[in-house]
Amino acid sequence: MVNPARSLSKPLRVATTLALALGLTALPTVAQADGADVTAPSVTTVSGTSYTVPSGSGYEKISFKLYDAGKVDKVVLNGVERDLANNVWSDLNFVKPGTFGAVLGHNTLEVFDVAGNVTTVDFVLNTKAPTVTVKDGDNFTARDGETYEKVSFSLFDAGKVDKVVLNGVVKDLADNVWSDLNFVKPGAFGAVLGENTLEVFDVAGNVTSVNFVLSATAPTVTVKDTEGYTITDGDDFEMVSFKLFDAGKVDKVVLNGVVKDLSNNAWSDLNFVKPGVFGAVLGDNTLEVFDISGNKTTVNFTLVLPRVTADTLGITSSLPRGWIKQGATLTVDEGTWSPTPQFSYQWFRDGVAIEWATGQSFKLAGARFPEGVVITVEVTGSAEGHRPTTVTHSVTTVR
């Protein structure tokens, strides 16, 4: 703030030393002298953050209103003289380090009227730039190693934050002590993929620069091959489970438009996906996996019904010792299938279907089955909610 100082006056003139506090007017002491102007100028701080920005015990910038009924002649700031237009009212605006001879720290302003009376004002200038802090919390910031998928900033300056400039794109703020720049990611507020530069200005023009890197790494989606989690059928799945990873944390999955929110961890899972679960359907499916920054990975997959599980077939003969020869009646032993299906049968002679032989049993009648004929039975099991399974078993006739 302003501290009092003393100076010597010229004969018959007044030298007034003032301590200028925020919002106060420096009113000079009047000395009486017949026939002479002995009233020194009055010096008043100009309010409003466009003109004056207090900062702690000093100012980031300061502006002065100058008045003298006998007209203001000049100002001298730290020995640097600035001539004025000899008017009753005058100004010295936007004083900060580097302007009009002002320096960081202690400054002395002398204001002279045309009669040589002087008012001295001491004040302190500082240039404390805004404080910029990265906000924590998944809603605000998503880290990806040393980079960010999105980032939010808390901005503070005792002299009020004026604006931010992100990669040259200006965003004006409301000139408050506290402010924010939230949800910065590529495409927002001028942010780009890769390196970015944020400049935060206070109303005095002090600036803090922050460099940061934005990435747009989408989640990794891997099919789990652990037994019990995924059942494949060629390129299709009867059931499938997914391992999800994103260094910036996995947010949610959307399966065929059905949203499932996750717990915002780097690792997550979507297990036991089959028709009717999590929005999955029989046939083509689309899974979208989002991280908390909105980056997305899309996976297309096909779900099929499970197959009926077959047992090993056997063929029994009606003849003693189980002989397979002319006159024998052969019967299929299906074993145990899951679920229990409806069976259909087809018998073959040396690979050629016997049209009328479509039952569980088949008799080797007539002379068509001499030694060495291969008899094959094809059994198909069908069950609701399952795809049919077909298995075969063959035997060879003897003499």
In a domain, residue 20? The reply is: yes
Shared domain check, 87 and 71: yes
In a domain, residue 21? The reply is: yes
In a domain, residue 10? The reply is: no
Residues forming beta bridges with residue 261, ordered by sequence position: 252
Shared domain check, 155 and 108: no
Q: What is the pLDDT of residue 28?
A: 53
CB-based contact 298:275 (threshold 8 Å): no
Q: What is the pLDDT of residue 294?
A: 86
Percent of the chain's residues with pLDDT above 90: 77
Cα 269 from Cα 243, distance rounded (Å): 5
Least trusted range by pLDDT, from 4-13, 37-46, 320-329, 388-397: 4-13
Both tokens of 374, joined, read: 């291969």
In a domain, residue 329? The reply is: yes
Shared domain check, 241 and 139: no
**pLDDT tens track for 319-363:** 999 999 999 999 999 999 999 999 999 999 999 999 999 999 999
Cα 272 from Cα 304, distance rounded (Å): 13
CB-based contact 92:72 (threshold 8 Å): no
- pLDDT surpasses 50 at 196: yes
Q: Which of 179, 214, 249 is the last residue of a domain?
A: 214
Q: Is the link from the previous residue into 54 a cis peptide, with omega within 30 of 0?
A: no
**pLDDT tens track for 55-95:** 877 898 999 999 999 999 999 999 999 999 999 999 999 99
Shared domain check, 207 and 258: no
Both tokens of 244, joined, read: 């999800």
- HSE, CB side, 13 Å, CA atoms: give it for residue 309: 5
Shared domain check, 348 and 330: yes
Q: Which of 125, 154, 175 is the last residue of a domain?
A: 125
Domain that holds residue 114: 15-125
Q: What is the pLDDT of residue 2?
A: 46
How many beta carbons lie within 10 A of that of residue 356, not counting itself?
Answer: 8
In this prediction, residues 385-393 reach a mean pLDDT of 96
Shared domain check, 387 and 321: yes
Query: Quick one: pLDDT band at residue 49, thresholds 50, 70, 90?
Result: confident
CA distances from 94 to 26, 199, 337 (A): 18, 21, 91
CATH number at residue 92: 2.60.40
**pLDDT tens track for 218-264:** 999 999 999 999 999 999 999 999 999 998 899 999 999 999 999 99
Q: Residue 219: CB partners within 8 Å, gap ≥ 6?
A: 244, 245, 246, 250, 289, 290, 291, 295, 296, 297
In a domain, residue 366? The reply is: yes
**pLDDT tens track for 1-14:** 444 333 323 332 33
Cα 334 from Cα 314, distance rounded (Å): 7
Shared domain check, 162 and 74: no
In this prediction, residues 42-54 reach a mean pLDDT of 92
**pLDDT tens track for 283-328:** 999 999 999 888 999 999 999 999 999 999 999 999 999 999 999 9
Q: Which of 273, 303, 333 is the last residue of a domain?
A: 303
**pLDDT tens track for 100-139:** 999 988 999 999 999 999 999 999 898 888 999 999 998 8
Q: What is the pLDDT of residue 50?
A: 87
- Split into its structural domains, the chain has a count of 4
Shared domain check, 249 and 181: no
Query: Quick one: pLDDT band at residue 35, thresholds 50, 70, 90?
Result: low
Shared domain check, 152 and 204: yes
Q: What is the pLDDT of residue 322?
A: 92
Shared domain check, 273 and 321: no
In a domain, residue 3? The reply is: no
Verdict on whether the full-model pTM lies above 0.85: no
Percent of the chain's residues with pLDDT above 70: 91
In a domain, residue 2? The reply is: no
Give the H/E segment covering residue 122: strand 118-125
Q: What is the pLDDT of residue 383?
A: 97
Q: What is the pLDDT of residue 111?
A: 98
Shared domain check, 37 and 116: yes
Burial (CB count within 10 angstroms: exposed 0-12, middle 13-18, buried 19+), residue 380: middle
Shared domain check, 251 and 224: yes
In a domain, residue 255? The reply is: yes
Query: Quick one: pLDDT band at residue 34, thresholds 50, 70, 90?
Result: low
How many beta carbons lie within 10 A of that of residue 5, not counting itself?
Answer: 15
